[in-house]
Amino acid sequence: MEKSIEVHNLTVSYHSKPVLWDVDFELPKGKIIGIVGPNGSGKTTMLKTVMGLMKPDSGYTEIFGQPLDKVRERVSYVPQRESVDWDFPADVMDVVLMGRYRKNNLFKRITKEDRRIATEALEKVNLLEFADRQISQLSGGQQQRVFIARSLAQQADIYLMDEPFVGVDAATEDAILKLLRDMKNEGKTVVIVHHDLQTANEYFDWIVLLNTRLVAAGPKEQVFTKELLQEAYGGRLTVLSKLGDLISDTEFPLREPDFKEDQPQG
């Protein structure tokens, strides 16, 4: 297996409480990979540590077999949408062009080539007609697509996205999924932090199941088992699955008795 990300014996803490504890796994290249786990299980911390934004207490991470500093330009990060102020005075094109900023061109002007690449990225997320729009006037789904376009403009080999499906409309969700598959077909690796179990199985090829400790990492068929999910989600999942069993056992009526199907609205 060709490796994209390696995480070795990683322990990270926040306010001296461990958020990740001795986590160790390797991820393949050219797959759509989900980092899945309940709230507070350290998913975002994992991503931020791989991206060098948080310092581990022990252990280390590598991308394409090298430390992050050697491969920065091949790595693209899509932070959580809420992590920036969308009232910032900038238009869509300004933000996407940031994907072209580099350490060594920071003091140079933006080139025509940069603009062409940014335009192409906007086209891929179906936002070209919004290029001149101020970012505060976008919907949540459009904001998410702007972030993805910015990371596409970076023309990286691996993309790390933090909860890109949160608070987006169905159209955006479809657009993102289609894009992810296109990226995979081009041989890119996509790693996505995701909290929704319902959709995880459908979206990803490979899953890392996390709950402070590593529960499992592997192809989804091997990881998405009842036992492992229960281990990751603990009591919360047990209650849900019991309810599910109850419904299927007794064919519990899902409709209230006084609800009529063709009831007029209002």
Partner 1 sequence: MTPTLAIALTAIFTAISCAVLGAFLVLRKMTMVGDAISHAVLPGIAIAYLLSQSRSSLPMFLGAALVGVFATVVIEILSKKWKVQSDASIGMTFTTLFALGVVLITYWSDKVDLDQECVLYGEIAFVPFNTWTLAGQSMGPIALWSSGILLLLVLIYTFTGYKGLLMSSFNEDYAAVLGIGVGAWNLSLMSMVSVATVISFESVGAILVVALLVAPAASAYLISQKLKPMILLAALFGLSGSLLGYMISAQLDISIAGGIATMLGVQFALILTITQFSRTS
* Residues of the shown chain interacting with partner 1 in the complex, contacts defined by CB under 8 A: 15, 48, 51-53, 69, 72-73, 75, 77, 79, 83-85, 88-91, 94-95, 98, 101-103, 106-107, 110, 134, 150, 154
Backbone φ and ψ for 67, nearest 5 degrees, come out as -65, 155
Closer by beta carbon to partner 1, 98 or else 243: 98
Shortest Cβ 71–partner 1 spacing (Å): 10
Shortest Cβ 72–partner 1 spacing (Å): 5
Closer by beta carbon to partner 1, 109 or else 255: 109
Shortest Cβ 250–partner 1 spacing (Å): 50
Q: Are 34 and 8 in contact (CB under 8 A)?
A: no
Residue 201's Cβ-count burial label (10 Å; 0-12, 13-18, 19+) is middle
Determine the Cα–Cα distance for residues 93 and 91; give it in Å rounded to an integer. 6
Shortest Cβ 139–partner 1 spacing (Å): 17
- 11: alpha, beta or left? (left if phi > 0; alpha if psi -120 to 50): beta
Determine the Cα–Cα distance for residues 222 and 250; give it in Å rounded to an integer. 30
Closer by beta carbon to partner 1, 12 or else 95: 95
Q: Are 228 and 244 in contact (CB under 8 A)?
A: no
Q: Are 49 and 20 in contact (CB under 8 A)?
A: yes
Closer by beta carbon to partner 1, 77 or else 204: 77
Determine the Cα–Cα distance for residues 229 and 251; give it in Å rounded to an integer. 24
Q: Are 64 and 236 in contact (CB under 8 A)?
A: no
Shortest Cβ 7–partner 1 spacing (Å): 17
Closer by beta carbon to partner 1, 73 or else 196: 73
Closer by beta carbon to partner 1, 107 or else 259: 107
Shortest Cβ 69–partner 1 spacing (Å): 7
